[in-house]
């Protein structure tokens, strides 16, 4: 099962068009009092962090309040409310013992926001205030899962709790962290403010006819493959006007599949590494085509410039 499908199930969304919600949890909110208990300690978990766990327990398991037991304690930074984190997850029906969902455990962890507004509470309780590099197991009642509605896929009933084994792999940075690179002087110049947000200076000359790509920062993370779900910060500038027509900076990072964007954006991402920042000059045929985009002020012959920070990828 793909990471994207698991994300949708854990957020309770029923449509593949629904975006993952950004956190609206106050920064000052502290962790819930989630402690180990008889039920979470009764779950046997074997295997190395970052690999598919071997999980067994005697079903049914029932709890009145979510319990969490640390299987492997990491040494990294501790997750906090509002953080975007990379996780691998195996999900079980606590009543039947059946495994119902699992991330890929390959090609980069699934990206989620630690917030009750973004995820079911059971998953938040499992991964909040946990050092990165940790593996945990939690057991949650229906009230922390999908309540009296059950999951949209029907695999967790209204009266059924869940068991989660979660690997908290990383906290996703807000900007590219790679090493600065020498770039072609013919590309538009990019300057960054303290937050990492770019400003693009369009040269005083005609736009090039072909797609151009420059690596401004080179990360050492996973290589983005076609079909991946990527998490990015981006800014789009119209070469003709020099104006920004779209960006994620000032809001939450964006998450989407490489096949869900214009061809030039896909070209800019696939083959690059997580942690990198790239600049792409995109001619109309790789952008919005002859029809342009009226809502964005893009004409059919406009060339676009995107600066993209590649924060994470998963498949």
Walking along the chain (315 residues) 10 residues at a time, the average pLDDT comes out as 44 32 42 92 97 98 98 97 96 97 93 94 97 98 94 93 98 97 96 97 96 98 96 98 97 95 98 98 97 96 98 94
According to the model, what pLDDT value does residue 33 have?
82
Q: Are residues 90 and 59 in the same domain?
A: yes
DSSP one-letter code for 82: T
The CATH code of the domain that includes 88 is 3.10.50.40
Shared domain for 34 and 109, answered yes or no, is yes
Final residue of a structural domain among 121, 146, 171: 171
Which pLDDT does position 29 carry in this prediction?
A: 57
Residue 151: the pLDDT is 93
Please indicate, yes or no, whether residues 26 and 8 belong to a single structural domain of this protein.
Answer: yes
User: What pLDDT score was predicted for residue 11?
Assistant: 55
State the total domains in the chain.
2
279: β partners: 214, 307
- Choose the final residue of a domain: 171, 189, 223: 171
Same domain, 147 and 185: no
Domain span at residue 274? 179-314
For residues 39 and 151, membership in a common domain is answered with yes
**What are the E-state strand segments in the chain?**
44-46, 54-56, 67-72, 84-93, 99-102, 110-113, 134-140, 162-171, 179-180, 189-192, 198-201, 212-218, 229-238, 244-247, 254-257, 277-282, 304-314
For residues 141 and 193, state if they share a domain: no
- 156 and 195 housed in the same domain: no
| Contact by Cβ (8 Å): 69, 76 | no
- 3-class secondary-structure state, position 284: helix
Q: Are residues 190 and 59 in the same domain?
A: no
Same domain for 238 and 152, yes or no, is no
Shared-domain flag, residues 55 and 165: yes
Helices (H), the chain: 3-11, 38-41, 121-127, 263-269
pLDDT for position 31: 80
- Look at residue 17 in the predicted model and tell me its pLDDT: 28
pLDDT value for 182: 96
Choose the final residue of a domain: 171, 189, 216.
171
- What is the reported pLDDT for 24? 38
The pLDDT assigned to 122 comes to: 97
**Do 152 and 257 fall into the same domain?**
no
Q: What is the predicted pLDDT for the residue at 288?
A: 96
CA–CA dist 203, 312 (Å, integer)? 31
Query: Considering only CA atoms, which of 254, 22, 176 is closest in space to residue 246?
Result: 254
pTM to 2 decimal places: 0.86
Residues 185 and 133 in one domain: no
């Amino acid at each position: 099962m793909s990471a994207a499908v698991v994300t949708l199930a854990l957020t309770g969304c029923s449509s593949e068009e629904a975006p993952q919600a950004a956190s609206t949890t106050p920064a000052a909110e502290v962790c819930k009092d989630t402690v180990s208990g008889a039920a979470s300690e009764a779950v046997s978990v074997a295997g190395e962090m970052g690999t598919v766990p071997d999980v067994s327990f005697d079903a049914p398991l029932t709890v009145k309040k979510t319990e969490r037991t640390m299987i492997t304690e990491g040494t990294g930074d501790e997750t906090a409310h509002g953080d975007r984190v990379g996780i691998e997850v195996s999900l079980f029906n606590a009543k039947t013992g059946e495994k119902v969902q699992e991330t890929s455990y390959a090609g980069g962890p699934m990206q989620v926001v630690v917030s009750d507004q973004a995820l079911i509470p059971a998953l938040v309780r499992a991964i909040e205030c946990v050092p990165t590099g940790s593996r945990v197991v939690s057991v949650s009642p229906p009230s922390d899962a999908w309540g009296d509605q059950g999951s949209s896929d029907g695999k967790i009933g209204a009266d059924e709790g869940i068991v989660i084994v979660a690997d908290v792999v990383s906290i996703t940075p807000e900007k590219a962290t790679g090493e600065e690179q020498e770039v072609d002087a013919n590309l538009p110049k990019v300057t960054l403010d303290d937050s990492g947000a770019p400003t693009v200076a369009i040269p005083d000359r005609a736009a090039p006819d072909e797609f151009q790509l420059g690596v401004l920062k080179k990360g050492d993370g996973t290589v983005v493959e076609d079909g991946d779900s990527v998490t990015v910060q981006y800014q789009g500038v119209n070469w003709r006007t020099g104006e920004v027509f779209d960006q994620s900076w000032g809001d939450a990072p964006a998450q989407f599949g490489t096949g869900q964007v214009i061809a030039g954006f896909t070209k800019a991402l696939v083959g690059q590494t997580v942690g990198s920042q790239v600049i792409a000059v995109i001619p109309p045929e790789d952008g919005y085509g002859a029809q342009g985009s009226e809502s964005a002020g893009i004409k059919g012959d406009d060339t676009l410039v995107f600066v993209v920070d590649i924060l994470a990828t998963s498949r």
